């Protein structure tokens, strides 16, 4: 799964990395410990019904998808991830999978590897060359009744999103049984294009996305608390040292 991640770039970095045409955010505040219900950045494409032109946009969204029919935003905390195997079937996700696909930019993400003694080791996974990652996501619109006013009797709109995951393979599977679906640059246009709106087309898109090649880095336990933030969270810990003084590699 993906429950914590890093977004350390600024708005200009994201515009450049994801070929964004238009931004709805003033600036991107870096975070080394993004957690569920936080505001994240979302890359989407909108189709002009008159001209047929696509515009790629960067906009803020709440992490944790809130279905349009939800009574409360609290349900979003349980929908930070969507399984690729069932995303076209689950009522909470299937409409968004056809019409509202997005990409959540990240520098990397955290997983906690379970050890034989029951403890967990936090790892930071990232691109070996430091390139930005694009998590495959879905987004939805929801009216917040708590914000109802004379001007907006049904409440203001909230944009929320989820990150799609799939079974992990190879080395990643040794860390956690699931991994985010990461859209490579060559497939981002197809993934974002709202004109790809049939079940077969979306399934084909999901099947075409390759498994990522990521590098794990052992990091400190401070990342376990959402109160902690800062670039020190992704600093690598030294290799384990055995009793005889020899270094023991992580993987």
Q: Give the three-class secondary structure for 99.
A: helix
Residues 71-93 as b or e (16 or more Cβ within 10 Å = b)? eebebbeebbbbbbeebeeeebb
Q: Distance between CA 165 and CA 72 in Å, rounded? A: 24
Determine which one of 2, 45, 140, 161 is catalytic. 2
Measure the CA–CA gap between 198 and 206, rounded to whole angstroms: 12
Structural Rg of the chain based on CA atoms: 19
- 80: nearest Cα among 42, 38, 108, 113: 38
2 is catalytic: yes
Q: Is 235 a catalytic residue?
A: no
Helix (H, G, I), strand (E, B) or coil at 46: strand
Q: Under 8 Å CB-to-CB from 246, ≥6 apart: which residues?
A: none
DSSP 8-state class, residue 186: H
Name the active-site residue from 50, 59, 111, 235. Answer: 111
Q: Write out the catalytic residue numbers.
A: 2, 111
């Amino acid at each position: 799964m993906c429950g914590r991640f890093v977004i350390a770039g600024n708005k200009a970095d994201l515009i450049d990395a994801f070929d964004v045409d238009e931004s709805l955010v003033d600036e991107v505040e870096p975070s080394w410990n993004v957690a569920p219900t936080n505001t994240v950045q979302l890359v989407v494409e909108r189709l002009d019904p008159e001209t047929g032109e696509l515009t790629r946009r960067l906009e803020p969204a709440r992490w944790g998808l809130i279905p349009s029919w939800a009574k409360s935003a609290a349900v979003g905390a349980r929908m930070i991830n969507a399984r690729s195997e069932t995303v076209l079937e689950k009522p909470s996700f299937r409409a968004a999978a056809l019409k509202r696909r997005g990409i959540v930019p990240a520098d990397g993400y955290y997983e906690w590897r379970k050890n034989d003694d029951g403890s967990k080791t936090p790892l930071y996974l990232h691109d070996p060359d430091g390139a930005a990652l694009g998590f495959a996501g879905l987004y939805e619109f929801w009216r917040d009744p708590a914000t109802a006013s004379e001007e907006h009797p049904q409440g203001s709109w909230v944009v929320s999103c989820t990150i799609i995951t799939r079974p992990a393979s190879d080395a990643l599977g040794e860390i956690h049984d699931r991994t985010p679906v990461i859209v490579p640059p060559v497939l981002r246009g197809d993934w974002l294009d709202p004109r790809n709106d049939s079940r077969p087309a979306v399934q084909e898109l999901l099947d075409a996305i390759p498994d990522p090649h990521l590098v794990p880095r052992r990091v400190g336990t401070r990342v376990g608390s959402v109160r902690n933030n800062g670039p020190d969270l992704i600093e690598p810990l030294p290799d384990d040292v055995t009793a005889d003084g020899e270094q023991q590699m992580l993987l």
